[in-house]
Amino acid sequence: MADAPVNALHNEFPPDSIEAKDLAHLLHPTTHLKHHAAAGPTVHERAEGVYLWDNQGKQYLEGMAGLWCTALGYGNAELAEVAAAQMKQLSYSQLFAGKTHESSVLLAEKLKEIAPFEAGRVFYGLSGSDANDTQIKLMWYYNNAIGRPEKKKIISRRRGYHGVTVASGSLTGLPPFHKAFDLPIPGVLHTDCPHFYSEGSSGESETQFVDRIVNNLEDLILKEGADTIAAFIAEPILGAGGVIVPPPGYYQKVQALLEQYDICFIDDEVICGFGRTGQAFGAQTMGFTPTTMSVAKAVSSAYLPLSAVLIPEYMHEAFLSVSDELGVFGHGFTYSGHPVCAAVALRNLEIMQEQDLFTHAAEVGEVFQQRLAGFAEHPLVGEVRGAGLLGAAELVKEKEPRMPFKPSEGVGAYCASACQEAGLIVRAMGDAVAFCPPLIITEAQVHEMFDKFAVGLDKTLAWLR
For residue 198, how many other CB atoms are within 10 A of its CB? 16
3-state secondary structure of 355: coil
For residue 411, how many other CB atoms are within 10 A of its CB? 24
Which residues neighbour 360 within 8 Å (Cβ) at sequence distance 6 or greater? 439, 440
Beta bridge partners of 309: 123, 294
Q: Please tell us whether the domain made up of 77-354 is placed in CATH 2.102.10.10.
A: no
The answer to whether residues 235 and 268 touch, using CB atoms and an 8 Å cutoff, is yes
> What pLDDT is stored for residue 161 in this prediction?
98
Element (H, E) at 452: helix 443-464
- Amino acid 421 reads E
The answer to whether residues 387 and 369 touch, using CB atoms and an 8 Å cutoff, is yes
User: Cα separation of 464 and 409, whole Å?
Assistant: 10
Could you say which residues of the chain have pLDDT below 50? 1-11
Task: Break the chain into its structural domains and give their ranges.
Answer: 42-75+357-464, 77-354
Q: Would you give the end-to-end CA distance of the chain in angstroms?
A: 15
Range list of β-strands (E), 285-380: 292-295, 307-311
User: Cα separation of 453 and 457, whole Å?
Assistant: 6
The answer to whether residues 419 and 456 touch, using CB atoms and an 8 Å cutoff, is yes
Burial class (CB in 10 A: 0-12, 13-18, 19+), 405: middle
Cα distances from 134 to residues 96, 115, 123, 141, 329, in angstroms, run: 16, 18, 9, 10, 13
> What pLDDT is stored for residue 2 in this prediction?
37
Domain 42-75+357-464 sits in CATH at 3.90.1150.10
How far does Cα 143 stand from its chain's mean position? 27
Q: Which spans in 102-241 are helix H?
A: 102-114, 128-145, 166-171, 196-199, 206-224
> What pLDDT is stored for residue 388 in this prediction?
98
> What pLDDT is stored for residue 12 in this prediction?
83
> What pLDDT is stored for residue 294 in this prediction?
98
Sign for the CA dihedral angle at 140, 141, 142, 143 comes to: positive
- Strand 229-234, strand 264-268: pairing: parallel
Which residues neighbour 137 within 8 Å (Cβ) at sequence distance 6 or greater? 167, 331
How far does Cα 10 stand from its chain's mean position? 33
User: Cα separation of 286 and 277, whole Å?
Assistant: 9
> What pLDDT is stored for residue 355 in this prediction?
97
